[in-house]
Amino acid sequence: MAKDDLLGASLWDAYSNKVTTLMNNPQHQGELFEDEVTARGHKLIVADFGAESCGDAVRLYWEIDPKTDIIVDSKFKSFGCGTAIASSDVMTKLCIGKTVQEAVKITNIDVEFALRDDPETPAVPPQKMHCSVMAYDVIKKAAGLYLGVKSESFEEEIIVCECARVSLKTLQEVIKLNDLKTIEEITDYTKAGGFCKSCIKPGGHEARDYYLVDILADTRREMDEEKMKAAADAGESGDFENMTLVQQIKAVDAVIDENVRQFLIMDGGNMEVIDIKKGDETIDIYIRYLGACNGCASSATGTLYAIESTLKDKLSKNIRVLPI
């Protein structure tokens, strides 16, 4: 099949040579039969999995030595696109020689990586990454049938982005630690949402329990609540001086968000806390002005006084604010 016979050379070039070769010449396509497998003293497992997102389906055959749990042979049938065939072929190859317990640790990332021509270049376009996810899911299905457990039991964490294998817990931690505010930032930090994009918001391939837009909103809300609580605790206890640095920054941010920031934004500016250092007599809070506030004459006089007075009133009379 000539490259230009498809949708154009540029689209065809988005697939690795391994993928295009296995699309037309899979090495492990076929069937395993019960009588032949049984005659060798082995157990046959046949698992089916279909992807609602595109209508593709794959059937996986495992011939397992029950004495060792080793997959001695494996075949597949794929009903779908060429990428599904290539992904299923590599997935099948990766299973052979492994125990069932080892095979279930093979992920869609392993499948996609094995299809690359070089380690740095993706094997398929982002929108076709779900084909390798299907290969991963059918492995779990086969392992569950052999071990007599539900396939979901192999997933230790809630996976939000199946393409990049990013969990809910990882997303929440990364958003908090790096103060992420946009979906684009989440993708830059974790790769979640960078492939088929169905995990970003409703309306993708199929309905999901978790979407990045909701996780971001919920996590940001939780962060704001933590800031407000830290500020309230500091105001009630008068113990700002004894907080950890992280707690102090959260408390300062909460007070700024509630009392100051909206006025800065109205004038086209903003500010951020850079550092907090405790001296012998003062707690020095270093800030950086942003936007229109940067270089404004009032930023060193009236605005600075308003910020410092508010923080002194809400947190500690020993606070001193220093712009840098």
Identify the residue whose tokens are 């609602």.
52
What value, to the nearest 5°, has the Cα angle with vertex 255 and ends 251 and 259? 175
Indicate if 296 belongs to the active site.
Answer: no
CA distance linking residue 3 with residue 285, whole number of Å: 62
From 95, 131, 163, 199, active-site residue:
131
In the numeric block, which tokens belong to residue 145? 């049938």
CA distance linking residue 208 with residue 47, whole number of Å: 23
Indicate if 81 belongs to the active site.
Answer: no
Residues annotated catalytic, as ranges: 54, 131
